Amino acid sequence: MRGRLLRWYGSDPLHLIALLLSFAIAGYAARRMLGSDATAVIIWFAGAVIGHDLVLLPLYTLADRPLTGLARRRVPATNARYVFYVRVPAALSALLLLVWFPLILRLPDAYKPITGRSTEPYLGRWLLVSGVLFALSAVALALRLRRDRAEPDRGGATLS
């Protein structure tokens, strides 16, 4: 039975169960959201798709090109391994900026009267979190380089 499912579906049965469960959860969330104001949710979703696929994806692809080019020139055989140690904290920092940019850039005038709090600490906290992300990534890279030097070459670059 499992071999037949593997040939038909192409993966493990547990994968199929997880996929169906995630579709059920997404369907439940969509039903809850669309129940309140379907037009606003659809407009927001369309804007998010257009904003990401037509604006952000080309921008961060262009921003990533110098990084991958530098890695190829410096260490041609292992460029794919080490680029992620810069790419991941940069992406997480950019995501935090995207989500919190009005408070980080101190844009909302209504924030303090509504919440009673200032927008002052957000820039410093975002910079601190970004610095910690890059520092943790640098430590992980140092440990990876140490491990790679200690092990003999395994005959090719891997992405692990």
* Residue where a domain stops, chosen among 50, 74, 98: 74
* Residue where a domain stops, chosen among 57, 74, 91: 74
Name the residue with tokens 């790679």.
148
Quote the CA–CA distance of 86 and 138 in Å, as a whole number: 8
55 and 86 in a common domain: no
User: In the 3-class helix/strand/coil scheme, how is 55-97 assigned residue by residue?
Assistant: HHHHHHHHHHHHHHHHHHHHCHHHHHHHHHHHHHHHHHHHHHH
80 and 64 in a common domain: no
* Residue where a domain stops, chosen among 74, 109, 128: 74
33 and 92 in a common domain: no
Model confidence pLDDT, tens digit, residues 32-60 = 777 767 777 778 788 888 888 888 888 87
Integer Rg of the chain from CA: 22
Structural domain of residue 92, as residue ranges? 76-160
Listed as ranges, residues in the chain with pLDDT below 70 are 1-2, 5-6, 36, 70-80, 108, 152-160
Residues in CB range of 85: below 8 A, 6 or more apart = 137, 138, 140, 141, 144
3-class DSSP state for residue 148? helix
59 and 12 in a common domain: yes
86 and 67 in a common domain: no
Tokens of 17: 């169960």
131 and 65 in a common domain: no
Other CB atoms within 10 Å distance of the CB of residue 103: 19
Model confidence pLDDT, tens digit, residues 135-149 = 999 999 999 888 888
Q: In the chain, how many domains are there? A: 2
